[in-house]
Amino acid sequence: MIVNDNDGVRIGGPHRQGAFAMKTVVAGSILICFALALPASADAAALKPRRVDIEYVAPKSPEHRELYERLKQQRVLEKIRDVLAPLKLPRRLLVKTEGCDGVQNAWYDEGAVTVCYEFLDALWKNVAQQTTPAGLEPIDTLVGPLVDVFLHEMGHATFDLLRIPVLGREEDAADYFSVYIMLHFGKDEARRLILGNAYQYKPDLQGSWTGQKFANEHGTPAQRFYNVLCLAYGADEKLFQDVVDKGYLPKDRADGCDAEYAQVAYAFGKLIQPYIDRNLARRLHRTWLPPVTVRPPYRAESTSATAR
């Protein structure tokens, strides 16, 4: 039926039905295109735990030979592999250390996590010589940053291999991935790892950042320092109360850290937890850090310079 209004304009009948049908087709097409653009979740049938392989690539520079041997002696990559074993991945992932021609770096690409000996050597140089004012033992100023670099890069690998959507900077999300896992060790080890992780940013806290440095995809060292402490305090105020009492984490930031941690925990639980083999995770030991009384090995000074 055709209906005319008082002005004689046709407002019903075939013309209106055709417009509605056209809008429906267009809307449907947009939804289909949007759905195709969304990242598909990883194929559940292909997901398996224990899919991390490791390799200590022989260093190119003789100056890294001692570091290479110590990493193997301490079974560093084996321990990282054990921590990552419960993560169910669609294919195998290689985690390796290797020389990078003088460049201090670490990255994930093409199905492999690479951590340069130059980067690890820089961490070794930064080790505290004695107990810090925050009560951090020298060994933890080495172990915390070392574990963090592998977990951070594993965060990138996880987002890629499992097609995890990331809203915001992926570098921030990889930091949160690392911190969240650290916080799920036993309380003593979680505290040691977190404070050691934060310590790595200490040399840069007093530096001045200007101009194009702020264009870097990573947050500034100061921001990353406070983010680590905030998530830790938000997760367990009692365990990390001293970082607020001693002024390392400002009170006005600390007041909202429980919400910040809750946000990360919710995202991890929603997006990543389904890919964790819980039975395997329960069986893994959570105490594998060296005793706090262990002194880090002395690092002889090198004459070569590295750049990042």
pLDDT band at 134 (very low <50, low <70, confident <90, very high): confident
- For the cut 80, the answer to whether the pLDDT of residue 212 exceeds it is no
pTM for this structure?
A: 0.82
Mean pLDDT of 146-166: 98
Domain ranges of the chain: 1-38, 44-283
Assign 3-class secondary structure to the chain: CCCECCCCCECCCHHHHHHHHHHHHHHHHHHHHHHHHCCCCCCHHHCECCCEEEEECCCCCHHHHHHHHHHHHCCHHHHHHHHHCCECECCCEEEEEECCCCECCEEEECCEEEEEHHHHHHHHHCCCCCCCCCCCCHHHHHHHHHHHHHHHHHHHHHHHHCCCCCCCCHHHHHHHHHHHHHCCCCHHHHHHHHHHHHHCCHHHHCCCCCHHHHHCCCCCHHHHHHHHHHHHHHHCCCCCHHHHHCCCCCHHHHCCHHHHHHHHHHHHHHHCHHHECHHHHHHCCCCCCCCCCCCCCCCCCCCCCCEC
pLDDT band at 299 (very low <50, low <70, confident <90, very high): confident
- For the cut 90, the answer to whether the pLDDT of residue 196 exceeds it is yes
Q: What is the pLDDT of residue 206?
A: 66
For residues 17 and 268, the model is more confident at 268
pLDDT in tens, 214-261: 555 567 889 999 999 999 999 999 999 999 999 999 999 999 999 999
For residues 304 and 276, the model is more confident at 276
Q: What is the pLDDT of residue 282?
A: 84
pLDDT in tens, 4-45: 444 433 334 444 444 444 444 444 443 334 333 444 556 677
Which residues have a Cβ under 8 Å from the Cβ of 215 and sit 6 or more positions away?
A: none
Mean pLDDT rounded to a whole number for the chain: 84
pLDDT in tens, 71-128: 999 999 999 999 999 999 999 999 999 999 999 999 999 899 999 999 999 999 999 9
Q: Are 139 and 290 in contact (CB under 8 A)?
A: yes
Q: What is the pLDDT of residue 262?
A: 98
Structure tokens belonging to residue 101: 């021609």
Q: What is the pLDDT of residue 306?
A: 34
